[in-house]
Amino acid sequence: MEGSGTCQGLILVSIVTWICVSSYLKLTHKFRSLVQPWVSRQVVGDVPLILNIQKHQNRVFDAFFSCLSCVVSVPFYTAFLPLLFWSGHGRLARQMTLLIAFCDYLGNCIKDVVSAPRPSCPPVRRITATKDEEDNAMEYGLPSSHTLNTVCLSGYLLHYVLSSLEHENASVQYYGFALACLLVALIAFGRIYLGMHSVVDIIAGLAIGVLILGLWLTVDEELDHFITSKQNVSSFWTALSFLLLFAYPIPEHPTPSYEYHTAFTGVALGIVTGVQQTYSQYHHEGAPQIFSPELPVSAYLGRVMVGIPTILLVKFCSKSLAKWILPTVSNALGIPIRSSTYVPKLKLDNGYADAKKTDEAKNSAGYLQKLREFLSQESFDIDTGIRFLQYAGLAWSVVDLVPSLFSYINL
């Protein structure tokens, strides 16, 4: 990615073309009808193996694998990435943020296209490690997002650490690779033990994760160079984020995956725009790193104590502003809107529920259909825009507002 206007235009035009072609040819429906029967048979065939594994259940294994699942969960990302940015490892933090966003988008796209029923519970026993898993236990499917993310993030972290060493050491590389493989294997096995995935989900997560990691390692240098030094970064990434909301495939049934994708797409936009504007001040390669004389542990702990409450406040304010601004603008433009969660006065009455089932499914992904049927659409769910702006504001504060505050109070 050279960052030129022509290259950026070609990328955006390619995405628009894909949206139009895939919608016109109904590629989502065709691919699902082709792959879903095979996936369903594999899921059913994996049940005896899952039951054999779960025969060895005990409280120690339950707690151990539940904790491992939390390591690659959404709450962990939310807490870990700001800490990584404030520790001075800006390049690693922004690369992992974008990698998470890409894995989340691609993994959830495939999951919502290749949707197959999960093994029933019972006989399979499910242990939910986090609140989001408890709410959406039946939604997990191919590929295993935990396995996919573990492959990509552990692999990229290993690559970053090894490339940062001044002298190559074969034993360090060997033990690092072995540790990464062990983590992936434990996460993959744990997802089966917890009853959250079938073997076919794990295999798909491993395969897709390896492919994404290989692709990312070939473009990460150019991508980082584009974000930190090129022009039109903010405008291009805003247009890209907007198009990705339209490019998401239509699921067979409404799922929460689109909400996760919307949130991380907003996070990626906030990180990119914030870093692009403040790279030379706070996120360059010469920025003080933790454990250095310029950033001792005491100063880093001070950053954490100041930064966490600040970004939480920004998240709350961003959500409140979006809940006020978006309905106001929509009403001014005469766009009919509704809200399923964030704006109580815009929630649908029960009498409309049956008439809105199809529209709710479209809200998860059918944005092209919304554009084509704009004049006949009764209402639009505004929660997507609110969620997107909320997380974009949160991410922007992590890399722009909070570092400025650190500079002001000499942290």
Residues labelled catalytic: 146, 197
Q: Which two tokens stand for residue 345?
A: 């006065």
- Please give the angle made by the CA atoms of 154, 131 and 388, to the nearest 5 degrees: 75
The token pair at 351 is 């009498």
- Rounded Cα distance between 358 and 377, Å, is 11
Q: In angstroms, how far is CA 1 from the centroid of its own chain?
A: 22
Distance CA 128, CA 189 (A): 15
Nearest Cα neighbor of 371 from 239, 245, 240 is 245
> How far apart are alpha carbons 25 and 88 in whole angstroms?
48
**3-state DSSP assignment of residue 381:** strand
The CA radius of gyration of the chain, in Å to the nearest whole number, is 22
Q: ∠ CA(330), CA(363), CA(128), 5° rounding?
A: 125
Distance CA 218, CA 207 (A): 17
Sequence-distant (6+) residues with CB within 8 A of 89 are 289, 290
Residue 13 backbone dihedrals phi, psi, to 5 degrees: -65, -35
